[in-house]
């Protein structure tokens, strides 16, 4: 009886193993055709592609389709020392001309449309020439995709997003990009999430070129970024950064004068007509350049209607907030519970900023500047039924007349919840105790 050579992919429901299609795990011969053949076969059968631990040479673009799932070896999915020493399933990309490594395309009938429900995980992706390796991932109209445990090294752009919706990037490390780690093209990208990702050793961390909405960065790290940690178009809405860490931004032998962590409203094509409520920063530690103060500041803001930042710590910046005299709108930047700011040295124009400060700490600045802030130590809500203002003047409420019952300074108000015509509102007009209340 003739025997048939068995392969891993013959097992019902198993992965399509690239080795079964002739891939070379030593990296000597090109595995491009073998990888693409495995992707094509897996797409037809709705099964995943498996790339065992090894070194694979890829010389041309790999096309990914609707539903494609690709995974490296889960036992060797991490690199050491920011991905420099490789113990992972590794792909070395060496195209002869300018091309992306992974490109997305519609294949399933009846008509072209967005690419849904794809995933790539557990891979170390390294390019040899960023002038030819244009993108690690080129995501055009990709929706509900997942990318996990990936390293992108030495591409022109690590990840390119155009018209993407609700994709998730988790534990991705993007380093040594020639242009930018992540490039949002500007075709209304929406609700992507970056969780515990790192943007390292590149001119720009993340750039938004147009009207992206609701893209979120949770527990991410920016380090040794030469120019801008994030470059955000004034056309963006609600870009959120929570619990981030930033170190050595801007970075390099001669950091640029306008280097900063958050650059807002200065992308080509921005105009006053496009201004949105664009950036929310909650928590985190943001440190400027280690070797002395350099750059513009933590925030360098031009065309702006809305930024909220609160609960963060910041060090080594010439300005916490630097704004444009003409284009940044008055009171468009709201600070919540950030201590340590001196108006004279940390904010370039106080008329652009307002906010909330705890414990009465306003540091330096004139009264007119301080009046722009709600100080929770002296201007506070005392309980669910009343509001207290400076020197104890309040507006409270309850049953019955306050006369002889409620002590308050002159000028206070009482709303009687069981009052009637002429007895619903009382004003404290005289005295220092509980008398002097007059019904109105």
Q: What is the DSSP string of 198-259?
A: EEESSSEEEEE-S--BS-EEES-EEES-SSEEEEE-TT-B-EEEES-EEES-S-SSS--TT-
Place of tokens 């201590």: 339
- Distance of alpha carbon 259 from alpha carbon 300, whole angstroms: 8
pLDDT band at 9 (very low <50, low <70, confident <90, very high): low
Answer whether 406's CB lies under 8 Å from 396's CB. yes
Handedness of CA 99, 102, 108, 109 (dihedral sign): negative
Asked if pLDDT for residue 384 goes beyond 50, the answer is no
- Distance of alpha carbon 218 from alpha carbon 193, whole angstroms: 8
pLDDT band at 154 (very low <50, low <70, confident <90, very high): very high
pLDDT, mean of residues 120-149 = 96
pLDDT, mean of residues 322-338 = 84
CA angle 349, 350, 352 (to 5 degrees): 80
What element of type H or E holds 382? strand 380-383
- Give the predicted TM-score (pTM) of the model: 0.81
Going from the C-alpha of 393 to that of each of 356, 412, 426, 440, the distances in angstroms are 20, 5, 13, 18
pLDDT, mean of residues 42-66 = 94
Q: 335-350 b/e with 16+ CB inside 10 Å = b?
A: bbebeebebeebbbbb
pLDDT band at 242 (very low <50, low <70, confident <90, very high): very high
Q: Considering only CA atoms, which of 198, 161, 162, 158 is closest in space to residue 180?
A: 158
Displacement of CA 290 from its chain's centroid (Å): 23
pLDDT, mean of residues 207-236 = 96
- The whole-number pLDDT of residue 385 equals 45
pLDDT, mean of residues 184-197 = 95
Q: Which of 228-242, 264-278, 395-409 has the highest mean pLDDT?
A: 228-242
- The whole-number pLDDT of residue 109 equals 58
Asked if pLDDT for residue 361 goes beyond 60, the answer is no
pLDDT digit string, tens, across residues 283-318? 999 998 877 657 888 999 999 888 999 888 888 888
* Weakest mean pLDDT among 16-20, 178-182, 251-255: 251-255
pLDDT, mean of residues 131-140 = 97
Which SS3 state, helix, strand or coil, does residue 47 take?
A: coil
pLDDT digit string, tens, across residues 350-360? 778 877 654 34
- Distance of alpha carbon 102 from alpha carbon 142, whole angstroms: 12
Asked if pLDDT for residue 12 goes beyond 60, the answer is no
- The whole-number pLDDT of residue 387 equals 52
pLDDT, mean of residues 326-330 = 89
pLDDT, mean of residues 261-285 = 88
> Percentage of the chain with pLDDT > 90?
60
| Domain spans in the chain, listed from the N-terminal domain onward | 12-375, 381-439
- The whole-number pLDDT of residue 350 equals 76
Two tokens, residue 115? 């690419």
- The whole-number pLDDT of residue 1 equals 43
pLDDT band at 338 (very low <50, low <70, confident <90, very high): low
- The whole-number pLDDT of residue 17 equals 96
- Distance of alpha carbon 320 from alpha carbon 287, whole angstroms: 11
Asked if pLDDT for residue 190 goes beyond 50, the answer is yes
- Distance of alpha carbon 242 from alpha carbon 223, whole angstroms: 16
Asked if pLDDT for residue 99 goes beyond 80, the answer is yes
Which SS3 state, helix, strand or coil, does residue 194 take?
A: strand
- The whole-number pLDDT of residue 378 equals 46
Asked if pLDDT for residue 195 goes beyond 50, the answer is yes
- The whole-number pLDDT of residue 29 equals 98
pLDDT band at 271 (very low <50, low <70, confident <90, very high): confident
Higher pLDDT, 346 or 427: 427
Class at the top of the CATH hierarchy for domain 12-375: mainly beta
pLDDT, mean of residues 113-130 = 93
- Distance of alpha carbon 222 from alpha carbon 196, whole angstroms: 11
Higher pLDDT, 214 or 109: 214
- The whole-number pLDDT of residue 244 equals 98
The 3-class secondary structure across 321-363, one letter per residue, is EEECCCCECCCCEEEECCCCCCHHHHECCHHHEEEEECCCCCC
Displacement of CA 374 from its chain's centroid (Å): 28
- The whole-number pLDDT of residue 31 equals 98
- The whole-number pLDDT of residue 113 equals 78
pLDDT digit string, tens, across residues 389-424? 556 677 888 899 999 999 888 989 999 999 999 999
Q: Is 96 buried (19+), middle (13-18) or exposed (0-12) by CB count in 10 A?
A: exposed
Asked if pLDDT for residue 382 goes beyond 60, the answer is no
Residue 103 has, within 13 A of its CA and on its CB side, a CA count of: 12
Higher pLDDT, 106 or 132: 132
Q: 393-422 b/e with 16+ CB inside 10 Å = b?
A: ebbbeeeebbeeebebeeebbbebeebeee
- The whole-number pLDDT of residue 59 equals 98
pLDDT digit string, tens, across residues 156-170? 999 999 999 999 999
Average pLDDT, the chain: 85
């Amino acid at each position: 009886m003739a025997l048939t050579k068995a392969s891993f992919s013959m097992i019902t429901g198993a992965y399509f193993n690239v080795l079964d299609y002739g891939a070379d795990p030593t990296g000597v011969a090109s595995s491009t055709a073998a990888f693409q053949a495995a992707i094509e076969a897996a797409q037809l059968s709705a099964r995943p592609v498996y790339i065992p631990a090894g070194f694979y040479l890829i010389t041309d673009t790999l096309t990914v389709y609707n539903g494609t799932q690709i995974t490296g070896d889960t036992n060797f999915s991490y690199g050491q020392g920011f991905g420099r020493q490789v113990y992972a399933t590794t792909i070395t990309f060496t195209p002869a001309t300018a091309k992306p490594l992974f490109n997305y395309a519609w294949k399933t009938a009846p008509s072209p449309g967005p690419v849904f429900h794809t995933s790539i995980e557990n891979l170390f992706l390294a390019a040899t020439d960023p002038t030819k390796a244009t993108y690690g991932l080129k995501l055009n109209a990709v929706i509900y995709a997942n990318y996990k445990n990936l390293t992108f090294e030495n591409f022109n752009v690590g990840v390119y997003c155009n018209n993407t919706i609700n994709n998730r990037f988790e534990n991705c490390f993007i380093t040594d990009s020639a242009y930018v780690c992540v490039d949002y093209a500007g075709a209304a990208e929406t609700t992507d999430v970056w969780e515990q990702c790192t943007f390292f050793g590149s001119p720009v961390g993340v750039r938004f070129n147009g009207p992206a909405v609701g893209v979120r960065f949770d527990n991410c790290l920016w380090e040794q970024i030469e120019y801008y940690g994030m470059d955000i178009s004034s056309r963006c809405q609600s870009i959120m950064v929570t619990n981030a860490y930033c170190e050595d931004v801007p970075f390099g032998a001669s950091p640029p004068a306008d280097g900063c962590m958050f650059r807002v409203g200065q992308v080509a094509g921005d105009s006053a007509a496009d201004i949105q409520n664009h950036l929310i920063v909650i928590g985190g530690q943001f440190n400027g350049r280690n070797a002395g103060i350099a750059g513009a500041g933590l925030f360098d803001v031009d065309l702006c209607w809305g930024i909220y930042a609160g609960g963060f710590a910041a060090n080594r910046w010439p300005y916490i907030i630097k704004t444009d005299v003409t284009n940044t709108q008055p009171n468009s930047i709201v600070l919540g519970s950030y201590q340590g700011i001196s108006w004279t040295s940390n904010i370039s124009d106080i008329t652009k900023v307002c906010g909330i400060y705890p414990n009465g700490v306003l540091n330096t600045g004139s009264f007119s500047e301080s009046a722009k802030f709600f100080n929770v130590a002296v201007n506070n809500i005392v309980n669910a039924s009343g509001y207290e203002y400076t020197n104890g003047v309040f507006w409270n409420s309850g049953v019955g007349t306050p006369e002889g019952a409620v002590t308050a300074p002159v000028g206070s108000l009482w709303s009687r919840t069981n009052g009637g015509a002429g007895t619903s509102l009382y004003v404290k007009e005289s005295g220092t105790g509980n008398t002097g209340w007059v019904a109105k």
